[in-house]
Structure 1
Amino acid sequence: MSSGESNALDTIRRIDSLARRHDVSYQGCTVRWREWGQGPPLVLLHGGHGSWHHWIRNIEALSATHSVWVPDMPGFGDSQDLVGDRHDAQRQARLVDTLAGNLDTLLGAQTLIDLAGFSFGGLTAGQLAARRGGVTRMALLGPAGHGGTRRQKTALVNWRLNDAVARRAALRNNLQSFLLHEPGSVDALALAIHETAALATRYRSKDFSHSTALTSALQNLSMPLLMLWGEHDVTAHPVEAAQRLSDERPERGWCIMPGAGHWVQYERHQDVNQLLGRWLSPA
Protein backbone atom coordinates (compact mmCIF):
# COMPACT_ATOMS: atom_id res chain seq x y z
CA MET A 1 0.00 0.00 0.00
CA SER A 2 1.37 3.43 -0.94
CA SER A 3 1.66 6.30 1.52
CA GLY A 4 -1.13 8.10 -0.35
CA GLU A 5 -3.47 5.14 0.02
CA SER A 6 -2.57 4.80 3.70
CA ASN A 7 -3.20 8.49 4.33
CA ALA A 8 -6.54 8.27 2.53
CA LEU A 9 -7.71 5.40 4.72
CA ASP A 10 -6.50 7.24 7.82
CA THR A 11 -8.57 10.28 6.83
CA ILE A 12 -11.72 8.19 6.37
CA ARG A 13 -11.18 6.34 9.66
CA ARG A 14 -10.53 9.54 11.59
CA ILE A 15 -13.71 11.28 10.47
CA ASP A 16 -15.72 8.08 10.88
CA SER A 17 -14.41 7.72 14.44
CA LEU A 18 -15.91 11.11 15.33
CA ALA A 19 -19.39 10.07 14.23
CA ARG A 20 -22.28 8.87 16.33
CA ARG A 21 -23.90 5.96 14.48
CA HIS A 22 -27.63 5.27 14.31
CA ASP A 23 -29.18 2.22 12.63
CA VAL A 24 -32.85 2.86 11.85
CA SER A 25 -35.27 0.29 10.40
CA TYR A 26 -38.27 1.21 8.30
CA GLN A 27 -40.45 -1.25 6.38
CA GLY A 28 -37.82 -3.97 6.37
CA CYS A 29 -34.81 -1.80 5.50
CA THR A 30 -32.18 -0.76 8.04
CA VAL A 31 -30.34 2.46 7.21
CA ARG A 32 -27.03 3.51 8.76
CA TRP A 33 -26.92 7.19 9.72
CA ARG A 34 -23.88 9.05 11.01
CA GLU A 35 -24.11 12.20 13.11
CA TRP A 36 -21.46 14.82 13.85
CA GLY A 37 -21.52 18.03 15.84
CA GLN A 38 -24.20 19.91 17.74
CA GLY A 39 -26.80 22.49 16.77
CA PRO A 40 -29.67 22.72 14.29
CA PRO A 41 -29.92 19.59 12.15
CA LEU A 42 -28.44 19.56 8.68
CA VAL A 43 -29.07 16.46 6.53
CA LEU A 44 -26.63 15.68 3.71
CA LEU A 45 -27.52 13.20 0.95
CA HIS A 46 -24.81 11.58 -1.21
CA GLY A 47 -24.81 10.89 -4.92
CA GLY A 48 -25.27 7.73 -6.95
CA HIS A 49 -22.53 5.09 -6.52
CA GLY A 50 -21.76 6.97 -3.32
CA SER A 51 -21.99 6.97 0.45
CA TRP A 52 -21.46 9.41 3.30
CA HIS A 53 -17.89 9.66 2.00
CA HIS A 54 -19.09 12.04 -0.73
CA TRP A 55 -19.11 14.69 2.04
CA ILE A 56 -15.74 13.72 3.55
CA ARG A 57 -14.23 17.18 3.03
CA ASN A 58 -17.28 19.07 4.27
CA ILE A 59 -18.44 17.32 7.43
CA GLU A 60 -15.97 18.87 9.87
CA ALA A 61 -16.57 22.42 8.65
CA LEU A 62 -20.36 22.09 8.62
CA SER A 63 -20.52 20.31 11.99
CA ALA A 64 -18.91 23.35 13.65
CA THR A 65 -22.34 25.03 13.58
CA HIS A 66 -24.82 22.18 13.00
CA SER A 67 -25.58 18.63 13.96
CA VAL A 68 -24.78 17.01 10.63
CA TRP A 69 -26.77 13.88 9.76
CA VAL A 70 -25.57 11.79 6.81
CA PRO A 71 -27.11 8.47 5.79
CA ASP A 72 -25.84 5.81 3.51
CA MET A 73 -29.11 5.76 1.61
CA PRO A 74 -30.90 2.41 1.10
CA GLY A 75 -28.91 0.23 -1.27
CA PHE A 76 -25.68 2.15 -0.68
CA GLY A 77 -22.70 1.83 1.65
CA ASP A 78 -23.41 0.33 5.06
CA SER A 79 -27.20 0.35 4.67
CA GLN A 80 -29.46 -2.49 3.62
CA ASP A 81 -31.14 -2.50 0.24
CA LEU A 82 -34.85 -1.90 -0.14
CA VAL A 83 -36.99 -5.01 -0.23
CA GLY A 84 -38.77 -5.88 -3.46
CA ASP A 85 -38.06 -5.75 -7.18
CA ARG A 86 -34.99 -3.67 -8.04
CA HIS A 87 -36.68 -2.55 -11.26
CA ASP A 88 -39.88 -1.35 -9.59
CA ALA A 89 -40.85 2.09 -10.93
CA GLN A 90 -41.87 3.06 -7.40
CA ARG A 91 -38.48 2.19 -5.95
CA GLN A 92 -37.34 5.81 -5.68
CA ALA A 93 -40.59 6.78 -3.92
CA ARG A 94 -39.97 3.99 -1.41
CA LEU A 95 -36.40 5.20 -0.86
CA VAL A 96 -37.72 8.69 -0.11
CA ASP A 97 -40.40 7.28 2.21
CA THR A 98 -37.70 5.35 4.07
CA LEU A 99 -35.59 8.47 4.60
CA ALA A 100 -38.63 10.43 5.76
CA GLY A 101 -39.57 7.66 8.20
CA ASN A 102 -35.99 7.53 9.48
CA LEU A 103 -35.94 11.28 10.13
CA ASP A 104 -39.21 11.09 12.02
CA THR A 105 -37.65 8.41 14.22
CA LEU A 106 -34.32 10.18 14.70
CA LEU A 107 -35.45 13.80 15.05
CA GLY A 108 -39.22 13.81 15.39
CA ALA A 109 -41.83 14.47 12.73
CA GLN A 110 -42.14 18.16 13.59
CA THR A 111 -38.42 18.97 13.68
CA LEU A 112 -37.25 21.49 11.12
CA ILE A 113 -34.11 20.62 9.16
CA ASP A 114 -31.75 22.15 6.65
CA LEU A 115 -31.13 19.82 3.72
CA ALA A 116 -28.41 19.46 1.09
CA GLY A 117 -28.02 16.89 -1.65
CA PHE A 118 -25.35 16.08 -4.22
CA SER A 119 -26.12 14.70 -7.70
CA PHE A 120 -28.65 11.84 -7.25
CA GLY A 121 -28.85 13.03 -3.66
CA GLY A 122 -29.95 16.44 -4.95
CA LEU A 123 -32.89 14.84 -6.74
CA THR A 124 -33.65 12.82 -3.61
CA ALA A 125 -33.41 15.94 -1.42
CA GLY A 126 -36.01 17.72 -3.53
CA GLN A 127 -38.33 14.73 -3.33
CA LEU A 128 -37.74 14.37 0.42
CA ALA A 129 -38.57 18.04 1.00
CA ALA A 130 -41.79 17.62 -0.98
CA ARG A 131 -42.66 14.38 0.82
CA ARG A 132 -41.81 15.29 4.43
CA GLY A 133 -41.89 19.07 4.59
CA GLY A 134 -40.23 20.87 7.47
CA VAL A 135 -37.19 21.97 5.43
CA THR A 136 -35.98 25.45 6.36
CA ARG A 137 -33.35 25.83 3.61
CA MET A 138 -32.16 23.50 0.88
CA ALA A 139 -28.95 23.37 -1.15
CA LEU A 140 -28.58 21.25 -4.29
CA LEU A 141 -25.09 20.55 -5.64
CA GLY A 142 -24.90 19.30 -9.22
CA PRO A 143 -28.43 17.93 -8.84
CA ALA A 144 -29.77 15.15 -11.01
CA GLY A 145 -33.31 15.00 -12.33
CA HIS A 146 -33.21 18.41 -14.03
CA GLY A 147 -34.31 16.97 -17.38
CA GLY A 148 -31.91 19.10 -19.42
CA THR A 149 -29.08 18.18 -21.72
CA ARG A 150 -25.81 16.74 -20.45
CA ARG A 151 -22.34 17.34 -21.84
CA GLN A 152 -20.42 14.21 -21.04
CA LYS A 153 -18.00 13.56 -23.89
CA THR A 154 -16.04 10.58 -22.57
CA ALA A 155 -17.84 7.30 -22.00
CA LEU A 156 -17.45 5.58 -18.65
CA VAL A 157 -15.56 2.30 -18.77
CA ASN A 158 -16.46 -0.98 -17.12
CA TRP A 159 -14.96 -1.13 -13.64
CA ARG A 160 -16.59 -4.41 -12.55
CA LEU A 161 -13.37 -6.38 -12.91
CA ASN A 162 -11.84 -9.10 -10.76
CA ASP A 163 -8.33 -7.74 -11.13
CA ALA A 164 -7.91 -5.01 -8.50
CA VAL A 165 -5.29 -3.06 -10.46
CA ALA A 166 -7.39 -3.00 -13.63
CA ARG A 167 -10.49 -2.07 -11.58
CA ARG A 168 -8.75 0.90 -9.98
CA ALA A 169 -7.50 2.05 -13.38
CA ALA A 170 -11.06 1.99 -14.70
CA LEU A 171 -12.39 3.83 -11.66
CA ARG A 172 -9.66 6.44 -11.97
CA ASN A 173 -10.66 6.98 -15.61
CA ASN A 174 -14.29 7.41 -14.58
CA LEU A 175 -13.39 9.85 -11.81
CA GLN A 176 -11.53 12.01 -14.31
CA SER A 177 -14.15 11.83 -17.06
CA PHE A 178 -17.29 12.20 -14.92
CA LEU A 179 -16.76 13.42 -11.35
CA LEU A 180 -13.68 15.65 -11.23
CA HIS A 181 -12.12 18.19 -13.57
CA GLU A 182 -8.52 18.86 -12.56
CA PRO A 183 -6.22 15.82 -12.96
CA GLY A 184 -4.66 16.58 -9.58
CA SER A 185 -8.08 16.21 -7.92
CA VAL A 186 -8.08 12.49 -8.75
CA ASP A 187 -6.02 11.70 -5.67
CA ALA A 188 -5.74 8.65 -3.42
CA LEU A 189 -8.63 9.77 -1.20
CA ALA A 190 -10.99 10.31 -4.13
CA LEU A 191 -10.07 6.93 -5.59
CA ALA A 192 -10.50 5.12 -2.25
CA ILE A 193 -13.93 6.71 -1.76
CA HIS A 194 -15.06 5.95 -5.30
CA GLU A 195 -13.93 2.32 -5.23
CA THR A 196 -15.44 1.56 -1.81
CA ALA A 197 -18.75 3.16 -2.72
CA ALA A 198 -18.98 1.57 -6.17
CA LEU A 199 -18.39 -1.92 -4.78
CA ALA A 200 -21.09 -1.42 -2.13
CA THR A 201 -23.78 0.07 -4.42
CA ARG A 202 -26.86 -2.07 -5.01
CA TYR A 203 -29.32 0.66 -6.01
CA ARG A 204 -29.73 1.63 -9.66
CA SER A 205 -30.08 5.42 -9.63
CA LYS A 206 -29.31 6.20 -13.27
CA ASP A 207 -32.86 6.05 -14.64
CA PHE A 208 -34.14 8.41 -11.94
CA SER A 209 -31.18 10.76 -12.37
CA HIS A 210 -31.87 11.16 -16.09
CA SER A 211 -35.53 12.01 -15.52
CA THR A 212 -37.32 15.32 -14.88
CA ALA A 213 -38.23 14.24 -11.36
CA LEU A 214 -36.44 17.11 -9.62
CA THR A 215 -38.28 19.68 -11.72
CA SER A 216 -41.55 18.09 -10.64
CA ALA A 217 -40.54 17.89 -6.98
CA LEU A 218 -39.63 21.58 -6.81
CA GLN A 219 -42.90 22.85 -8.27
CA ASN A 220 -44.69 23.33 -4.96
CA LEU A 221 -41.69 24.08 -2.72
CA SER A 222 -41.15 27.63 -1.50
CA MET A 223 -38.24 27.47 0.96
CA PRO A 224 -35.01 29.33 0.13
CA LEU A 225 -33.05 27.23 -2.35
CA LEU A 226 -29.38 27.43 -3.32
CA MET A 227 -28.16 25.54 -6.39
CA LEU A 228 -24.50 25.04 -7.19
CA TRP A 229 -22.67 23.49 -10.13
CA GLY A 230 -19.01 23.11 -10.94
CA GLU A 231 -18.04 25.08 -14.03
CA HIS A 232 -17.11 21.85 -15.83
CA ASP A 233 -19.93 19.62 -14.54
CA VAL A 234 -20.64 17.11 -17.32
CA THR A 235 -24.08 16.14 -16.01
CA ALA A 236 -25.63 19.43 -17.15
CA HIS A 237 -25.16 22.70 -18.94
CA PRO A 238 -25.08 24.48 -15.58
CA VAL A 239 -26.53 27.86 -16.61
CA GLU A 240 -29.29 26.19 -18.60
CA ALA A 241 -30.18 23.85 -15.73
CA ALA A 242 -30.01 26.68 -13.19
CA GLN A 243 -32.34 28.89 -15.16
CA ARG A 244 -34.81 26.05 -15.65
CA LEU A 245 -34.86 25.02 -11.99
CA SER A 246 -34.83 28.54 -10.55
CA ASP A 247 -37.82 29.46 -12.72
CA GLU A 248 -37.19 33.17 -12.00
CA ARG A 249 -38.40 32.71 -8.43
CA PRO A 250 -36.75 35.15 -5.98
CA GLU A 251 -36.17 32.57 -3.24
CA ARG A 252 -34.08 30.43 -5.59
CA GLY A 253 -30.45 31.34 -6.16
CA TRP A 254 -27.65 29.63 -8.04
CA CYS A 255 -23.96 29.94 -8.73
CA ILE A 256 -21.24 28.29 -10.79
CA MET A 257 -17.99 27.28 -9.06
CA PRO A 258 -14.96 27.95 -11.30
CA GLY A 259 -12.46 25.16 -11.94
CA ALA A 260 -14.62 22.34 -10.62
CA GLY A 261 -16.29 19.30 -12.08
CA HIS A 262 -19.38 17.45 -10.91
CA TRP A 263 -18.13 16.50 -7.43
CA VAL A 264 -17.85 20.15 -6.59
CA GLN A 265 -17.86 19.86 -2.78
CA TYR A 266 -14.79 17.62 -2.97
CA GLU A 267 -12.80 19.41 -5.65
CA ARG A 268 -13.45 22.93 -4.29
CA HIS A 269 -14.22 22.01 -0.71
CA GLN A 270 -12.89 25.14 0.96
CA ASP A 271 -14.96 27.44 -1.24
CA VAL A 272 -18.04 25.23 -0.97
CA ASN A 273 -17.71 25.02 2.82
CA GLN A 274 -17.59 28.82 3.04
CA LEU A 275 -20.53 29.17 0.68
CA LEU A 276 -22.67 26.64 2.55
CA GLY A 277 -21.63 28.11 5.88
CA ARG A 278 -22.93 31.52 4.84
CA TRP A 279 -26.06 30.02 3.31
CA LEU A 280 -26.90 28.04 6.45
CA SER A 281 -26.16 30.86 8.87
CA PRO A 282 -29.27 32.09 10.71
CA ALA A 283 -28.11 35.64 10.07
Structure 2
Amino acid sequence: MTQISSKTPVASIQPEAQAAALLQQSERIVTDADGCRMVWRRFGEGHPVVLLHGGHGSWLHWVRNIEALAAHRAVWAPDMPGFGESDDIASDLSVMTGTLVRGIRQLPGCDKALSLVGFSFGGLVAANVAASLGTVCRLALMGSGGHGGIRRQQRALVDWRKAGDAEALAVAMRYNLEAFMLADPARIDAMAMYAHTESCRLTRFRSKNISRAGDLRCALDRFGGEVLLAWGEHDVTADPVRAIAAMTQDSPRREGRVIANAGHWVQYEAHAPVNALLDGWLPT
Protein backbone atom coordinates (compact mmCIF):
# COMPACT_ATOMS: atom_id res chain seq x y z
CA MET A 1 0.00 0.00 0.00
CA THR A 2 1.28 3.48 -0.89
CA GLN A 3 1.23 5.74 2.12
CA ILE A 4 0.92 9.50 1.61
CA SER A 5 1.73 11.61 4.63
CA SER A 6 1.18 15.30 5.16
CA LYS A 7 4.93 15.80 4.67
CA THR A 8 5.04 14.11 1.26
CA PRO A 9 4.96 16.59 -1.66
CA VAL A 10 2.02 15.44 -3.77
CA ALA A 11 3.73 16.58 -6.97
CA SER A 12 6.56 14.11 -6.32
CA ILE A 13 4.23 11.11 -6.23
CA GLN A 14 3.37 9.30 -9.45
CA PRO A 15 -0.30 9.72 -10.40
CA GLU A 16 -0.83 5.96 -10.45
CA ALA A 17 0.29 5.84 -6.83
CA GLN A 18 -1.92 8.79 -5.92
CA ALA A 19 -4.96 7.06 -7.44
CA ALA A 20 -4.07 3.78 -5.75
CA ALA A 21 -3.71 5.50 -2.38
CA LEU A 22 -7.11 7.12 -2.83
CA LEU A 23 -8.67 3.77 -3.70
CA GLN A 24 -7.23 2.29 -0.51
CA GLN A 25 -9.68 4.55 1.34
CA SER A 26 -12.68 3.13 -0.53
CA GLU A 27 -14.94 0.11 -0.52
CA ARG A 28 -15.46 -1.47 -3.95
CA ILE A 29 -19.02 -2.60 -4.69
CA VAL A 30 -20.35 -4.19 -7.88
CA THR A 31 -24.05 -3.93 -8.74
CA ASP A 32 -25.92 -5.86 -11.42
CA ALA A 33 -28.72 -4.07 -13.27
CA ASP A 34 -30.36 -6.54 -15.65
CA GLY A 35 -27.02 -8.12 -16.47
CA CYS A 36 -24.98 -4.89 -16.58
CA ARG A 37 -22.29 -4.99 -13.90
CA MET A 38 -21.29 -1.57 -12.56
CA VAL A 39 -18.24 -0.87 -10.43
CA TRP A 40 -18.77 1.63 -7.59
CA ARG A 41 -16.32 2.99 -5.00
CA ARG A 42 -17.58 4.32 -1.68
CA PHE A 43 -15.59 6.81 0.35
CA GLY A 44 -16.55 8.11 3.79
CA GLU A 45 -19.79 7.93 5.75
CA GLY A 46 -22.91 10.05 6.04
CA HIS A 47 -25.38 11.50 3.57
CA PRO A 48 -24.93 9.64 0.23
CA VAL A 49 -23.61 11.62 -2.73
CA VAL A 50 -23.26 9.97 -6.15
CA LEU A 51 -20.68 11.46 -8.56
CA LEU A 52 -21.29 10.84 -12.28
CA HIS A 53 -18.31 11.46 -14.54
CA GLY A 54 -18.27 12.89 -18.06
CA GLY A 55 -17.93 11.37 -21.50
CA HIS A 56 -14.53 9.79 -22.15
CA GLY A 57 -14.37 9.66 -18.38
CA SER A 58 -14.29 7.46 -15.31
CA TRP A 59 -14.30 7.88 -11.54
CA LEU A 60 -10.95 9.64 -12.04
CA HIS A 61 -12.78 12.77 -13.19
CA TRP A 62 -13.37 13.33 -9.45
CA VAL A 63 -9.86 12.55 -8.22
CA ARG A 64 -9.40 16.10 -6.85
CA ASN A 65 -12.81 16.21 -5.16
CA ILE A 66 -13.51 12.87 -3.49
CA GLU A 67 -11.53 13.37 -0.28
CA ALA A 68 -12.98 16.83 0.38
CA LEU A 69 -16.57 15.69 -0.14
CA ALA A 70 -16.11 12.40 1.71
CA ALA A 71 -14.90 14.14 4.87
CA HIS A 72 -18.56 14.46 5.94
CA ARG A 73 -20.47 12.22 3.49
CA ALA A 74 -20.64 8.82 1.87
CA VAL A 75 -19.36 9.50 -1.64
CA TRP A 76 -20.10 6.99 -4.41
CA ALA A 77 -17.86 7.26 -7.49
CA PRO A 78 -18.82 4.75 -10.21
CA ASP A 79 -17.60 4.00 -13.67
CA MET A 80 -20.84 4.47 -15.58
CA PRO A 81 -21.88 1.67 -17.97
CA GLY A 82 -19.71 1.70 -21.07
CA PHE A 83 -16.84 3.35 -19.21
CA GLY A 84 -13.92 2.20 -17.08
CA GLU A 85 -14.40 -1.16 -15.39
CA SER A 86 -18.17 -1.34 -15.86
CA ASP A 87 -19.98 -3.40 -18.49
CA ASP A 88 -21.18 -2.08 -21.84
CA ILE A 89 -24.68 -0.91 -22.74
CA ALA A 90 -26.23 0.62 -25.84
CA SER A 91 -25.22 4.26 -26.41
CA ASP A 92 -28.63 5.58 -25.47
CA LEU A 93 -29.54 8.11 -22.78
CA SER A 94 -32.67 6.32 -21.62
CA VAL A 95 -30.79 3.03 -21.31
CA MET A 96 -28.02 4.75 -19.36
CA THR A 97 -30.56 6.45 -17.08
CA GLY A 98 -32.50 3.28 -16.34
CA THR A 99 -29.36 1.24 -15.71
CA LEU A 100 -28.01 3.79 -13.25
CA VAL A 101 -31.34 4.12 -11.45
CA ARG A 102 -31.42 0.35 -10.90
CA GLY A 103 -27.78 0.34 -9.83
CA ILE A 104 -28.21 3.18 -7.32
CA ARG A 105 -31.16 1.43 -5.73
CA GLN A 106 -28.86 -1.50 -4.89
CA LEU A 107 -26.30 0.63 -3.04
CA PRO A 108 -26.24 0.40 0.77
CA GLY A 109 -27.66 3.57 2.32
CA CYS A 110 -29.07 4.93 -0.95
CA ASP A 111 -32.63 3.77 -0.41
CA LYS A 112 -33.68 7.16 1.01
CA ALA A 113 -32.59 10.75 0.33
CA LEU A 114 -29.37 11.22 -1.62
CA SER A 115 -27.61 13.87 -3.70
CA LEU A 116 -26.29 13.66 -7.25
CA VAL A 117 -23.36 15.52 -8.79
CA GLY A 118 -22.71 15.22 -12.52
CA PHE A 119 -19.98 16.49 -14.83
CA SER A 120 -20.36 17.21 -18.57
CA PHE A 121 -22.24 14.27 -20.14
CA GLY A 122 -22.68 13.00 -16.58
CA GLY A 123 -24.54 16.21 -15.76
CA LEU A 124 -27.20 15.45 -18.35
CA VAL A 125 -27.33 11.86 -17.11
CA ALA A 126 -27.59 13.00 -13.48
CA ALA A 127 -30.53 15.28 -14.30
CA ASN A 128 -32.37 12.40 -15.95
CA VAL A 129 -31.54 10.03 -13.09
CA ALA A 130 -32.77 12.60 -10.57
CA ALA A 131 -36.03 12.93 -12.49
CA SER A 132 -36.52 9.16 -12.49
CA LEU A 133 -35.17 8.06 -9.12
CA GLY A 134 -37.55 9.99 -6.88
CA THR A 135 -35.22 10.20 -3.85
CA VAL A 136 -32.73 12.90 -4.95
CA CYS A 137 -32.85 15.92 -2.66
CA ARG A 138 -30.10 18.00 -4.32
CA LEU A 139 -28.57 17.97 -7.79
CA ALA A 140 -25.30 19.71 -8.70
CA LEU A 141 -24.13 19.92 -12.31
CA MET A 142 -20.58 20.88 -13.29
CA GLY A 143 -20.02 21.96 -16.92
CA SER A 144 -23.15 20.06 -17.86
CA GLY A 145 -23.94 18.82 -21.33
CA GLY A 146 -27.41 18.97 -22.81
CA HIS A 147 -27.91 22.74 -22.46
CA GLY A 148 -28.43 23.10 -26.22
CA GLY A 149 -26.79 26.54 -26.34
CA ILE A 150 -23.75 27.86 -28.14
CA ARG A 151 -20.34 26.25 -27.85
CA ARG A 152 -17.04 28.13 -27.87
CA GLN A 153 -14.58 25.45 -28.94
CA GLN A 154 -11.97 26.88 -31.31
CA ARG A 155 -9.62 23.92 -31.81
CA ALA A 156 -10.59 20.53 -33.19
CA LEU A 157 -9.54 17.53 -31.12
CA VAL A 158 -6.98 15.07 -32.48
CA ASP A 159 -7.69 11.35 -32.80
CA TRP A 160 -5.51 9.88 -30.06
CA ARG A 161 -6.38 6.36 -31.25
CA LYS A 162 -4.09 6.91 -34.25
CA ALA A 163 -1.07 7.54 -32.02
CA GLY A 164 1.65 5.08 -32.99
CA ASP A 165 3.50 4.92 -29.69
CA ALA A 166 3.41 6.10 -26.09
CA GLU A 167 5.11 9.40 -26.86
CA ALA A 168 2.64 10.25 -29.65
CA LEU A 169 -0.25 9.24 -27.38
CA ALA A 170 0.98 11.60 -24.66
CA VAL A 171 1.26 14.45 -27.17
CA ALA A 172 -2.30 13.84 -28.39
CA MET A 173 -3.72 13.63 -24.90
CA ARG A 174 -2.01 16.82 -23.81
CA TYR A 175 -3.24 18.64 -26.91
CA ASN A 176 -6.85 17.56 -26.27
CA LEU A 177 -6.65 18.54 -22.60
CA GLU A 178 -5.46 21.98 -23.64
CA ALA A 179 -8.00 22.36 -26.45
CA PHE A 180 -11.05 21.09 -24.59
CA MET A 181 -10.70 20.33 -20.90
CA LEU A 182 -8.50 22.89 -19.11
CA ALA A 183 -8.18 26.63 -19.70
CA ASP A 184 -4.65 27.04 -18.36
CA PRO A 185 -2.03 24.74 -19.95
CA ALA A 186 0.12 25.14 -16.83
CA ARG A 187 -2.49 23.13 -14.91
CA ILE A 188 -2.04 20.07 -17.10
CA ASP A 189 -0.11 18.08 -14.52
CA ALA A 190 0.79 14.40 -14.34
CA MET A 191 -2.51 13.47 -12.70
CA ALA A 192 -4.56 15.27 -15.36
CA MET A 193 -2.63 13.38 -18.04
CA TYR A 194 -3.06 10.05 -16.25
CA ALA A 195 -6.76 10.48 -15.48
CA HIS A 196 -7.60 11.66 -18.98
CA THR A 197 -5.54 9.00 -20.73
CA GLU A 198 -6.80 6.07 -18.65
CA SER A 199 -10.40 7.23 -18.91
CA CYS A 200 -10.27 7.73 -22.69
CA ARG A 201 -8.66 4.35 -23.30
CA LEU A 202 -11.45 2.55 -21.44
CA THR A 203 -14.39 4.45 -22.99
CA ARG A 204 -16.79 2.50 -25.20
CA PHE A 205 -20.02 4.53 -24.81
CA ARG A 206 -20.61 7.18 -27.50
CA SER A 207 -21.83 10.27 -25.67
CA LYS A 208 -21.02 13.25 -27.91
CA ASN A 209 -24.29 13.50 -29.82
CA ILE A 210 -26.29 12.91 -26.64
CA SER A 211 -24.43 15.70 -24.82
CA ARG A 212 -25.01 18.15 -27.65
CA ALA A 213 -28.76 17.63 -27.69
CA GLY A 214 -30.79 20.20 -25.77
CA ASP A 215 -32.53 17.92 -23.29
CA LEU A 216 -31.16 19.26 -20.00
CA ARG A 217 -33.89 21.83 -19.30
CA CYS A 218 -36.62 19.21 -19.80
CA ALA A 219 -34.90 16.84 -17.36
CA LEU A 220 -34.53 19.61 -14.77
CA ASP A 221 -38.20 20.50 -15.15
CA ARG A 222 -39.16 16.87 -14.55
CA PHE A 223 -36.92 16.74 -11.48
CA GLY A 224 -38.27 19.94 -9.95
CA GLY A 225 -35.88 19.96 -6.97
CA GLU A 226 -32.94 22.02 -5.76
CA VAL A 227 -30.29 22.42 -8.48
CA LEU A 228 -26.85 24.03 -8.57
CA LEU A 229 -25.35 24.61 -12.04
CA ALA A 230 -21.73 25.68 -12.46
CA TRP A 231 -19.53 26.21 -15.48
CA GLY A 232 -15.93 27.33 -15.72
CA GLU A 233 -15.48 30.88 -16.97
CA HIS A 234 -13.61 29.61 -20.04
CA ASP A 235 -15.59 26.41 -20.69
CA VAL A 236 -15.45 25.76 -24.45
CA THR A 237 -18.63 23.66 -24.37
CA ALA A 238 -20.88 26.54 -23.34
CA ASP A 239 -21.30 30.23 -22.74
CA PRO A 240 -21.71 29.96 -18.95
CA VAL A 241 -23.77 33.12 -18.46
CA ARG A 242 -26.23 32.22 -21.21
CA ALA A 243 -26.41 28.57 -20.19
CA ILE A 244 -27.16 29.46 -16.58
CA ALA A 245 -29.82 31.96 -17.64
CA ALA A 246 -31.50 29.40 -19.88
CA MET A 247 -31.48 26.67 -17.24
CA THR A 248 -32.58 28.82 -14.29
CA GLN A 249 -35.17 31.09 -15.94
CA ASP A 250 -38.45 31.07 -13.99
CA SER A 251 -37.02 28.42 -11.67
CA PRO A 252 -36.37 29.79 -8.16
CA ARG A 253 -35.08 26.40 -6.95
CA ARG A 254 -32.11 26.59 -9.32
CA GLU A 255 -28.98 28.68 -8.96
CA GLY A 256 -25.94 29.12 -11.17
CA ARG A 257 -22.28 29.96 -10.63
CA VAL A 258 -19.46 30.87 -12.99
CA ILE A 259 -16.14 29.59 -11.68
CA ALA A 260 -13.34 32.05 -12.45
CA ASN A 261 -10.17 31.05 -14.29
CA ALA A 262 -11.36 27.54 -15.17
CA GLY A 263 -12.29 25.58 -18.26
CA HIS A 264 -14.57 22.63 -18.90
CA TRP A 265 -13.08 20.18 -16.36
CA VAL A 266 -13.93 22.76 -13.74
CA GLN A 267 -13.87 20.50 -10.68
CA TYR A 268 -10.27 19.52 -11.48
CA GLU A 269 -8.82 22.81 -12.65
CA ALA A 270 -10.52 24.83 -9.89
CA HIS A 271 -10.85 22.04 -7.35
CA ALA A 272 -10.40 24.24 -4.27
CA PRO A 273 -13.28 26.67 -4.99
CA VAL A 274 -15.48 23.91 -6.41
CA ASN A 275 -14.89 21.71 -3.37
CA ALA A 276 -15.76 24.62 -1.09
CA LEU A 277 -18.88 25.37 -3.13
CA LEU A 278 -20.10 21.77 -3.10
CA ASP A 279 -19.18 21.21 0.54
CA GLY A 280 -21.32 24.17 1.53
CA TRP A 281 -24.23 23.26 -0.73
CA LEU A 282 -24.57 19.49 -0.34
CA PRO A 283 -26.17 18.02 2.79
CA THR A 284 -24.03 16.14 5.31
For Structure 1 versus Structure 2, the TM-score category normalised by the shorter chain is over 0.9
Q: Tell me which of 209, 218, 236 is aligned to 1:207.
A: 209
Alpha-carbon offset, residue 27 of structure 1: 1.4
Alpha-carbon offset, residue 162 of structure 1: 3.3
Q: Distance between the aligned counterparts of 1:174 and 1:5, measured in 2?
A: 24
Q: Which residue of 1 aligns with 2:26?
A: 19
Q: Which residue of 2 aligns with 1:66?
A: 73
| 1:124-144 Cα distance to aligned partner (Å, 9 max, x none) | 000001111211111000000
Preserved contact between residue 59 and residue 79 of structure 2 (Cα < 8 Å): yes
Q: Distance between the aligned counterparts of 2:206 and 2:215, measured in 1?
A: 15
Q: Distance between the aligned counterparts of 1:121 and 1:250, measured in 2?
A: 23
Higher alpha-carbon deviation: 176-185 or 214-223: 214-223
Alpha-carbon offset, residue 215 of structure 1: 1.7
TM-score by length of 1: 0.93
Q: Distance between the aligned counterparts of 2:280 and 2:75, measured in 1?
A: 16
Q: Which residue of 1 aligns with 2:100?
A: 99
**Which amino acid in the other structure matches residue 36 of structure 2?**
C
Q: Distance between the aligned counterparts of 1:8 and 1:75, measured in 2?
A: 24
Q: Which residue of 2 aligns with 1:146?
A: 147
Preserved contact between residue 23 and residue 31 of structure 1 (Cα < 8 Å): yes
Preserved contact between residue 115 and residue 138 of structure 2 (Cα < 8 Å): yes
Q: Distance between the aligned counterparts of 1:104 and 1:52, measured in 2?
A: 19
| 1:202-225 Cα distance to aligned partner (Å, 9 max, x none) | 000001000012122112222111
Q: Which residue of 1 aligns with 2:240?
A: 238
Q: Distance between the aligned counterparts of 1:281 and 1:132, measured in 2?
A: 18
Q: Which residue of 2 aligns with 1:165?
A: 167
Q: Distance between the aligned counterparts of 2:38 and 2:111, measured in 1?
A: 21
Q: Which residue of 1 aligns with 2:265?
A: 263
Q: Determine whether 1:55 maps to 2:31.
A: no
Q: Distance between the aligned counterparts of 2:108 and 2:132, measured in 1?
A: 16
Preserved contact between residue 5 and residue 188 of structure 1 (Cα < 8 Å): no
1:274 is paired with a residue of what secondary structure?
helix
Alpha-carbon offset, residue 4 of structure 1: 6.3
Residues 264-283 of structure 1 mapped to structure 2, 5 A cutoff: 264-281=266-283
Q: Determine whether 1:111 maps to 2:118.
A: no
Alpha-carbon offset, residue 6 of structure 1: 5.4
The 1:152/1:72 distance shift into structure 2, 3 A limit, reads same
Moved over 4 A (4+): 3-6
Q: Which residue of 2 aligns with 1:31?
A: 38
Q: Which residue of 2 aligns with 1:197?
A: 199
Preserved contact between residue 47 and residue 283 of structure 2 (Cα < 8 Å): no
Preserved contact between residue 260 and residue 267 of structure 1 (Cα < 8 Å): yes
Task: Flag structure 2 segments of 5+ consecutive residues without an equivalent.
Answer: 1-9
TM-score by length of 2: 0.93
The 1:108/1:61 distance shift into structure 2, 3 A limit, reads closer
| 1:249-281 Cα distance to aligned partner (Å, 9 max, x none) | 111100101100000110111111111011014
Preserved contact between residue 99 and residue 128 of structure 1 (Cα < 8 Å): yes
Q: Give the RMSD, CA atoms, in angstroms.
A: 1.5
Task: Flag structure 1 segments of 5+ consecutive residues without an equivalent.
Answer: none
